[in-house]
Structures are given as structure tokens and as C-alpha cells.
Structure 1
Amino acid sequence: MKIALWAENLACPVASVQAWADMAEAQVKAASDAGAEVILFPEYSAAHWLHFVPRTLKGPAQLAQLADFSAEAIERMASLAVQYGLLVISGTFPVKHSGLNPPLVNRAHAFFPDGRLATQDKLCLTPFEKDPRDWNLSPGTALNVFEWQGYRMAVVICLDIELPALSARLATLDLDLILVPSMTAKLAGYHRVFSCARARAVELLAAVAAVGCIAGAPECEQEISGASFFLPAEEKFGHTGVLAELSPSYTAEGAGPLLVRELPLDDIRAMRRGGKGEVWPGAWTAD
């Protein structure tokens, strides 16, 4: 399966949700032209909308405004998936959830070409995300698995990929691909997320695709990230566990770079299900 990762440049100015969606469409089209079947945006791709949010809005009011824009973005992303025939995972948007207090979640949306929609809420929030004075979000409550073209996938959002307890749950799910949208303001944060993503490929004998946003929008920290495809560190897949990567950067040209690669998901699945890893014992529980 060929997958595209968009390391979104938040510094590239946009004046509306539609202008942002036009920028996103250019990336979806480029991915489609390259033969990709999936495109992944970074966590908080919605932070790009801070270019046109009033500067007077801070903290929870700022995030609530972004959430108000989400419905328009969701409608446009759904149409792009159908138009270009790709699975579009549009990073994450803040979304209102009336059953929770606080009533906002950090949600990833997976838009399928057949019109289906799958979602994943971030499960473990950073101190900034939880702080009532800042973005004041609620954590998600469920880890979801979805299938596309016969492959089992999960979206694991940024900090969630760093958590051993969640990794143990992932090990029971027979996943072919883990998609990791992220947002990190420090090089240390980038390395935590991407190092753990690489470890999950080894631990779970699965492919992992990770991408983050670059630079910053107004009222947003300067972000640093890149994009990587990780495979099990097995001789068959090139020994290192790294298929391809864009090095982390605080700056980017234009809308940000796109990394596209073919992932050997069939071979990885055969190795995992057939017990053919060099030393991998399967989903070992340590009990």
C-alpha cells in the first residue's frame, strides 16, 4: 500500500477554512498523482486556522472557535476522499462533544472514498491540553480499529504512542499499520514521538507512519517535526527499521513537504502471522 505523509507548514498563511482546504486539496491531489492510497496530515492540522482567528481569543475560547470551524473542514475533507479515491486522515481537529465535561476532544477523522467515516480521539492529553486556562480538552475513551483494502489500521495520536499500557493493548489487535499524527514544539518531543513510533514497529511487527507539523501559526508555538515510515527491524525489510524519513525541521517551503512510499504490508503481515520474525515471540504478555 502506498501512503503519503504531509508535514504541514503552519506558517504558510491562509485566510479561511476554504483556503486551508484548497491547500489540503493540493496535497491530496499530489498524493493521488503519486499513486498513494492513503494520506495522513499532522495532529492539530486545525492550528493552521489560527491565521484567521481573532487574536483577542485565548485559551478555551480560542479552541472553541477552532471547533466551530471544524464542521466546514470535515465536509470538505469528506468530499476530497470521494473525489480523489484516497483514504484521507486529516490530522486532528478540536470537536465539540456534548456528553463530556469539558465538552471538547482532539479528534482524528478518517474519510473513506466510499463515504464512510472513522474517528479516533486522543486518549492521553498533555498538560497544556488539559489545563482549564489553556485548551481545556477531555480525553477520549476508546481505541478504535478500522479496515481499508483488507488491512487493519489504528490512528494513535502523538503522546498516545509513548504509553506502554496502550502499546500492550495494540499488541492484541493484529494491526498492519499504525498512523501517528503529531505536534511537537521541541526537538525532544519530536524524538519521543518518533522513537516510540519506531519501537512500535519492532514490538508489534507492523508498519508505522508518523508525521508532524512544522513552524507555527499566529498565537501558536513554533513546531518542529518531519515524517517517517518505520518497518520491523528485520533483514527482509532492510535491517534498520526505517524505510524513509524527512528530518525534523522548524521551517518549510510552501505548504510543507510530502513524503510518499510503498509499504510492504502483505509481507509484514505474513511475517507476523506466520511467526517468521528472527526472534519475535508474538504478542507476548509477560504474565
Structure 2
Amino acid sequence: RKKVSSAEEYIEAVQNKKIRDPIFTFQIRQGFEFLKIVKNYDPTDTESLGYGALMVWHNPEIGAETSPDDDINARSPGTVRVATVQYQQRGITSFAEFEQIVTYFVDVTGDYEADFVCFPELFTLQLLSINNEEIPADQAIDHLTDYTDRIRDLFQKLAIKYNVNIIAGSHPTKMPDGDIHNVCYICLRDGSVYTQEKIHPTPDEKYWWNIEGGDDLDVIPTDCGPIGVLICYDSEFPELARHLTDQGANILFVPFCTAERQGYLRVRYSAQARAIENQCYVVLAGNVGNLPRVHNMDIQYAQSCILTPCDFYFARDGIAADTEPNVETVSLADLRMDSLNQARNSGSVRNRADRRHELYAVVWRGGRPRR
């Protein structure tokens, strides 16, 4: 054991890594700053000879000086602000009314300086209530595809105007071969538009609407780093999330549409698992309310949320933000990208780093990567 002549010399030796003190070293690594030695701090502590160390920790979330005039939307560098819209399904009379509703939500999230806002899966089915008549499900979904260009153009315009990247839920889209796919339009604030098709349509989507699954799954490059989109049921397939996070996605957006609580919990529990096993953030946005004359949209259940990994760097319950079930609302959270790096490199567990690639791997056999 190395000997020193004073407490001050001991602290200096620990700081220079000549002596290892498990408590002092841990505190220094966590950002504590040593101020001075306190004599006779605890005379009963014979191992420390009664000495104590006065240390200070500077909270990075709080600036040195604040005033009432400070921007309430100010946030720490390295954070990404995300918003999720829990959208109320109700009858409307025109596309202009639909535009007014979604513009309100984008405007609100723009006021809060959100980097991303996510709408629910198939929330555009609300447009089928305009005619206020009941038509067969397959005809209804075919009619809805006529709105595709207007939907894409609307959200592209809103993303630019309100300076927020929009994950525009999903919308039934007719492909060149005539098949209908469930497609998410990602409209970025620089004016660019990307698409992500749902890979796994549910049995109901196939039966009622003849929706086919897509073949491509790629990250979307944004000004906040690459992101991924998994539409509802796709979140229940671990391989898809791993494929996206292996491409660099730190945030996964999950627009969903579920009729009752059991279906919702399948999506939520799966999304939480994806956040843990990939050490990433997952944002869920769902529909509430009902559309009585629209087949397969009679009732809706949602509790939209923003999920994190479960470790010391995040909220203790792995939930950055939550909502009340079945209430139309917006929820926001600031997500720290450096917390993901800390968890991946020095967390309690390191799911990404500890994978045994010599035993197993996720191999994508689908389409070509997005250019």
C-alpha cells in the first residue's frame, strides 16, 4: 500500500491516478469537482482519519444564471425534442377541416421548438367520414388513396412552415402495380420527403382493405441524425428494429392504430423491448375516438408515449413522456443523444456491445438501401 504524508497529498495522488480510491474516483468520473479538504468531518471514520472531501456537481440542465426573460423552450446542447400526437378520430365535413386540425398540432409543436412530431397510423381514414355514408371497406380504402398527393403536399408544406420534421402517421397508398400499401410519409423541414412502407400488414388490414406489405426498410437521414420508422405491427418483429439501429438509427418512431387495450399493449410492450435491446429511443403515436361509418375504425385505444432504455442515464421507469389513455393530447420530451452513448459504452448492461456475432446475426434480404 502506498503511503502519503497528508490528506492533500492523498487527494493529489488519487487525481493523478497513482492511488485508487473507489469512492473519490467514481465521483470524479461522474463530473464532481473537488474543492477542499474538510478536517474533523467524521472523527469516528478511522479509515479516513476523520477527513472529508468537499465536492460540487454542476447540473448541466441548469445554467449559471436564469431570469424570467429566458426562453422557456431552451434546452441543453445534444438533445432532440420529440412530440407525439394522440389524435382524436371524429367525423369531418371537408379536407379543409382535416387540414385545420393537423395544422393546429404542427403549429403547437413548432411553438415548443420540437425537432420531430409523430402522427398515428392510418389517421387519414378520418377523410372517409366526409361523405357521411357507409361504403364497403375495399372500396373505401381505394377511394382514400385519391388523397395521397394532397396528404404528402400538406405535410411537406407544414414541415417547412413550422420548422419541424413530421412523421406523418401512415396513409394507404396505391403503388404502380395497383397494390395498396400502408405508407408513412416523413416530411423533413428542409423540404425533402421520404417514405416507409409497413412491412407486415395485420390480418385485418389484409382482410378488410387488401393491403400488401412493403419490402424495403431503411433509415431516414435527418438534421438530428438517422431515424427509423416501424408502423404499428412492425414494432413486434425484433429483427426490423435491429436492422434500423445497425444502420445508425437512435430514435424509432412507431405510428400505431389499435382498437382495444390488448392490441395497444402488444405494441407498447414490444416497443419498450426494442428500446431496451437496441439501447435507443422509441416514440409511439396512436388514435383515439371512433368513426362509426368507417369499417374497421369503429373504436380506438391509445396511450401514446416516448420510451427510453432502462438504465441510470434515463427515466427510472424507461418512460420519458406518457399520456392519459384515450384523450386527445400532445406529449413532448427532450432526448439526450449522449445518454445513449454512455449507456452503450458503460451502462449496467450493454446489449449492443455484448452481442455474440459469431453465434447469430440479423441479415436483411429485402430491397436495396435508400440512397
CA distance in 2 between counterparts of 1:113 and 1:15 reads 29
Alpha-carbon offset, residue 54 of structure 1: 5.3
- Give percent identity, aligned residues only: 24
CA distance in 2 between counterparts of 1:149 and 1:270 reads 22
Task: Give the letter for the 2:117 counterpart.
Answer: I
1:27 lines up with 2:105 in the alignment: yes
What is the match of residue 309 of structure 2? 232
1:121 lines up with 2:197 in the alignment: yes
Q: Over aligned residue pairs, what C-alpha RMSD do you find?
A: 1.6
Task: Give the letter for the 2:193 counterpart.
Answer: L
Give the gaps of 5 or more residues in structure 2. Answer: 1-79, 361-371
Structure 1 pair 171–38 and aligned structure 2 pair: CA distance change class (3 A): closer
CA distance in 2 between counterparts of 1:54 and 1:98 reads 29
For normalisation by structure 1, the TM-score amounts to 0.91
What is the match of residue 88 of structure 2? 9
1:193 lines up with 2:193 in the alignment: no
Q: Which runs of 4+ in 1 moved over 4 A?
A: none
Structure 1 pair 165–268 and aligned structure 2 pair: CA distance change class (3 A): closer
Structure showing greater radius of gyration is 2
What is the match of residue 137 of structure 2? 59
CA distance in 2 between counterparts of 1:276 and 1:184 reads 37
Name the count of aligned residue pairs: 275
Structure number with greater CO (CA < 8 Å, separation at least 6) is: 1
1:83 lines up with 2:161 in the alignment: yes
Task: Give the letter for the 2:350 counterpart.
Answer: W
Alpha-carbon offset, residue 150 of structure 1: 4.0
Alpha-carbon offset, residue 270 of structure 1: 4.5
Alignment of 1:151-162 (within 5 A): 151-162=225-236
CA distance in 1 between counterparts of 2:245 and 2:192 reads 26
CA distance in 1 between counterparts of 2:346 and 2:261 reads 36
What is the match of residue 223 of structure 1? 300
1:280 lines up with 2:350 in the alignment: yes
What is the match of residue 177 of structure 1? 251
Task: Give the letter for the 1:263 counterpart.
Answer: L
Alpha-carbon offset, residue 22 of structure 1: 1.2
- Given candidates 231, 240, 245, the residue that maps to 2:322 is 245
CA distance in 1 between counterparts of 2:340 and 2:309 reads 8
Give the gaps of 5 or more residues in structure 1. Answer: none
1:271 lines up with 2:349 in the alignment: no
- Given candidates 328, 331, 335, the residue that maps to 1:259 is 331
* SS of equivalent residue, structure 2 residue 144: helix
